[in-house]
Amino acid sequence: MPGAGDGQLNHPTDVAAAPDGRVYVTDSGAQRVQYFLPAGGFLGSFGSPGSGPGQFSDPRGIAVVRV
């Protein structure tokens, strides 16, 4: 669903699946990353507009690394 609320995407640019099944989506329109359950339920988000720690300026890619 388009928008800037939780679970809504304003300009999704990339997606990555984690080993646990969570799906991470970069949302460059809202300057954040959101993550979802495998079935699509919203779990949370992180990031805000800016250039400081924890902030994004037009996020475009994402990868999940298993450590």
The whole-angstrom separation of Cα 14 and Cα 12 is 6
Which pLDDT tens digit goes with each residue over 5-30?
Answer: 999 999 999 999 999 999 999 999 99
Domain count, the chain: 1
Residue by residue, DSSP assigns the chain as: -BSSSTT-BSSEEEEEE-TTS-EEEEETTTTEEEEE-TTS-EEEEE-EESSSTTEESS---------
For the stretch 26-61, pLDDT in tens is: 999 999 999 999 999 999 999 999 999 999 999 999
- Residue 1: per-residue pLDDT: 65
Confidence of residue 3 (pLDDT cuts 50, 70, 90): confident
Instruction: Specify the CATH number for the domain of residue 54.
Output: 2.40.10.500
Residue span of the structural domain in which 45 resides: 1-67
Rounded to whole angstroms, the Cα distance separating 36 from 7 reads 8
